[in-house]
A = this chain, B = another copy of it.
Amino acid sequence: MRPEDLPEIRHLHLFRDMTQANFEALMTSSYALNFPQGLEMIRQGDPADFLHIVLEGSVELFARWGGRECTMAMVQPVSTFILAASIRDAPYLMSARTLERARIILIPSSDLRAMFRRDTEFSVSVINELAACYRSVVRNAKTLKLRNSRERVASYLLRQSILAGGVVSYTLPVEKRLLASYLGMTPENLSRTLKALEGDGLKMDGARVIITDRAKLTALAQPDKLIDGPDVAGNENGAGLPSTRL
């Protein structure tokens, strides 16, 4: 591991509050790996021997079943992934592959489990992180069950705009193909939906998103703090924690 990696990891919520000695202990048993693009570094069903942290590049979490495949999440630096499996010492429920060349830290699960018995602040951090992850997946499930594809697309695009600081125009952070899978639809359907949203306040130019009428698009997407996260302008409810990635 490179010395300049450590401060970045230390800044994560998960590791911010533990003692310096314990942090260093955890890091000495860990190591860093550089993966090429498109490499499947985690295969669902394998034992979760390591907690992973993306330092550079980006990672796709996806799931397979009976020949089908779908994107579950996209992980950008700096964040951890598959914490739950590491903790339960259980098989990964999702696979992971690099979307671009990526630098990944691996922390042995057993060290992790030992550590939160020793460091109370760390265990509190783990609890908070897990609770946040849980809520994130619940939001995901809600959007899948309550919204149709058109609404999912519109709310996704709006949310991205808001996370980027309320900008009118931005570039999609991922390929449309991937986005389609994440939103639970086919690439063809996404393509058509994007075209159909012209006239509802949206304009696409390749991977460039242009919000031509935010009010109109918002009326269609009906962003909700209990689905899209507290940062989205919207309705009456809620307050409080980071929204879903991707």
Contacts and interface: CB of A to CB of B under 8 A. Distances in A.
A134 B84 contact: yes
A33 interface: no
20 contacts: A45-B236, A45-B237, A65-B224, A65-B227, A66-B224, A68-B146, A69-B146, A70-B142, A72-B141, A88-B128, A91-B225, A91-B238, A93-B138, A93-B139, A116-B124, A130-B131, A133-B134, A137-B138, A144-B144, A144-B145
Contact of A124 (B84, B123, B131): B123
Contacts of A69: 146
Query: Copy number of this protein in the oligomer?
Result: 2
Main secondary structure of the interface of A (DSSP, over half): helix
Interface string A49-71: 00000000000000111101110
A222 B68 CA distance: 12
A93 B245 CA distance: 17
A65 B222 contact: yes
A84 B44 CA distance: 25
A237 B222 CA distance: 40
A215 interface: no
A63 B137 CA distance: 14
A63 B236 CA distance: 15
A73 B58 CA distance: 32
